[in-house]
Amino acid sequence: MALLEVKNLHTYFHTMDGLTKSVEGVSFSVDKGVTLGLVGESGCGKSVTSLSIMQLVAIPPGEIHEGEIIFQGEDLLKKTPEQIRRIRGNDISMIFQEPMTSLNPVFTVGSQIIEVLMIHRGMSEEEAKEKTISLFQDVGIPDPARRIDNFPHQMSGGMRQRVMIAMGLACDPKLLIADEPTTALDVTIQAQVLQLMRDIKKKTNTSIILITHNLAVVAEMADFIAVMYYGRLVEYAPVKELYGNPRHPYTHGLLNSIPRVDKPKTAKALPAIPGVVPNPYSAPSGCKFHPRCKYVQQKCIDQEPPYVLLPDSDNHLCRCWFPVKE
């Protein structure tokens, strides 16, 4: 049975400029011990999807309009705020992009984790402190007994992200949601943090949802990839299948357009996807990608394609009338 199953999720925002359908009918599941990469550009709804799972969407202006979020067999959307609070940070925890803004600057980093352990695990302060020191050790923070008394500004970006990871892992979560965990970091530090996340997964068998715009990072980390565009999932497949055989024109276009560090320089221009993501208040008709798609046909303009399994596959889903063949 899947650890997490998101079914037909719709999250809307009622803003001054009108209704934004940030997430429109997203469905996916995450099994135990699996890493799912959720990929897309800014505004595609990947972060709102994760905030909906955590029920951290501000209501109002937000609204989870429809859908089910089944975690360990129970629908999180039917739970009371009190019950959700017990799950959040305990069974499901989250690592955010910018550790400087998600850590409280006026408390020491240690005290922010000790608090979590005392609330969720009912530990005494002594026990919680000991556990925090061992967590810091696990995430590779040198001299942990001294570092727990540091304030966030006294640490480097990489160290702060390690603190965030330690906090995320404090209660041995079953599901860890990492929202752009390495985007703000240097490439050498990114490699350290990714290695740490791989080690942790091996050790604890935690499921991870890794949200990122970086197609190279997910290629190295994820078992499955889900690609989002304009609030919708457009393609889903095991990682090797998705990179080896991308079928949605958006995925196909993205993978072709990014410069590669492992390929020599050529004089050719990058085959960029033309245009920009459409305005959230005025959705295009039919397939939301059709204004930028080079394979567009009349059917794409008239009707939105369904998100279905490709006929020749049992785990490759795609939202396209005319999937790309190579």
Partner 1 sequence: MSTKNIPSESTSHSVPSITQEDIVETLPTYKPDALVACHRLHKYFPIHGGLLGRKLADVKAVDDISFQIKQGETHALVGESGSGKTTAAKTLIRLYDATSGDIFLRNFKTHEMDNITHARGANLRALRSEMQIVFQDPSGSLNPRIPVGDIIEEPLVVHGVKSKKERLERVVDIMEIVGLRAEYLKRYSHEFSGGQRQRIGIARALILNPKFIVCDEAVSALDVSIQSQIINLLQDLQGKFDLTYLFIAHDLAVVRHMSDTIGVMYLGRLVESAPNDVLFNKPSHPYTQALLNAVPIPDPTIERNKTIIMGDIPSPINPPSGCRFRTRCPKVMDICKEEAPPTKEIEPGHFIACHLF
Interface mask toward partner 1 for 191-230; x: CB under 8 A: xx-xx-----------------xxxxx-xx----------
**Residue 16 lies near partner 1 (rule: CB under 8 A):** no
**Residue 265 lies near partner 1 (rule: CB under 8 A):** yes
Q: What angle do CA 1, 86, 110 make, to 5 degrees?
A: 115
Residue 24 is classified by DSSP as E
Instruction: Give whichever of 258 and 309 is closer to partner 1, judged by the CB atom.
Output: 258
In angstroms, give the least distance from the CB of 262 to partner 1: 5
Which residues in 136-259 belong to E strands, given as ranges? 175-179, 207-212, 224-229, 232-238
Give the number of residues written for the chain: 326
**Residue 189 lies near partner 1 (rule: CB under 8 A):** yes
Task: Tell me the β-bridge partners of 176.
Answer: 93, 208
Instruction: Give whichever of 118 and 151 is closer to partner 1, judged by the CB atom.
Output: 151
Q: Which of 104, 95, 105, 132 is nearest to 117 (CA)?
A: 132
From 3-11, 26-34, 95-103, 240-248, give the range in contact with partner 1 by CB under 8 A. Answer: 240-248
Q: Which of residues 271-300 bind partner 1 (CB under 8 A)?
A: 271-274, 276-277, 292
Q: Which of 202, 240, 294, 299 binds partner 1 (CB under 8 A)?
A: 240
Burial class (CB in 10 A: 0-12, 13-18, 19+), 265: exposed
Indicate the residue type of 269: A
From 10-18, 20-28, 108-116, 190-198, give the range in contact with partner 1 by CB under 8 A. Answer: 190-198
Sheet holding 4-15, edge to edge: 18-30, 4-15, 62-71, 74-75
In angstroms, give the least distance from the CB of 230 to partner 1: 12
Alpha-carbon distance of 104 to 113, in angstroms, equals 11
**Residue 315 lies near partner 1 (rule: CB under 8 A):** no
Alpha-carbon distance of 22 to 85, in angstroms, equals 24
In angstroms, give the least distance from the CB of 310 to partner 1: 19
Q: Which of 1, 264, 311, 312 binds partner 1 (CB under 8 A)?
A: 264
Q: Which of 4, 254, 300, 320 binds partner 1 (CB under 8 A)?
A: 254
Q: Is 320 helix (H, G, I), strand (E, B) or coil?
A: coil
From 52-60, 109-117, 199-207, 255-263, give the range in contact with partner 1 by CB under 8 A. Answer: 255-263
State phi, psi for 258 to the nearest 5 degrees: -80, 140
Task: Tell me the β-bridge partners of 95.
Answer: 178
Q: Which of residues 79-108 bind partner 1 (CB under 8 A)?
A: none
* Cβ atoms of 288 and 30 closer than 8 Å: no
Q: Under the rule (CB under 8 A), what is the footprint of partner 1?
A: 41-42, 156, 158-159, 186-192, 194-195, 213-217, 219-220, 239-240, 243-244, 253-255, 257-265, 269-274, 276-277, 292
